[in-house]
Amino acid sequence: MLQLRHLGEVNYYQRKSGQEIDFIFRRDTAVEVKETPHAGDLKVLNNRTKALGLPEKILAGRFPPADGFADFVWAGTLF
């Protein structure tokens, strides 16, 4: 567990099967980071956060995909 003064507690989630969530802030916000996010990434994130009971989620990406998917946050705007 890592403590960051301005963010609070930071954790991650990983199962032996390889399922993971990159960051979990304050035990209630899941953040999944992708180079180029797409709708499938959001679907997986929705399923994992629902199963874990995490009420907030952010899909962050570096580049927008060519198909126009826009339901993500540009990673440079997170902090």
Look up the pTM and report it.
Answer: 0.82
The answer to whether the beta carbons of residues 39 and 66 sit under 8 Å apart is no
Which tens digit of pLDDT belongs to each residue from 25-56?
Answer: 888 999 999 999 999 999 999 999 999 999 99
Q: From edge to edge, which strands make up the β-sheet containing 73-74?
A: 2-4, 8-14, 20-25, 29-34, 56-61, 73-74
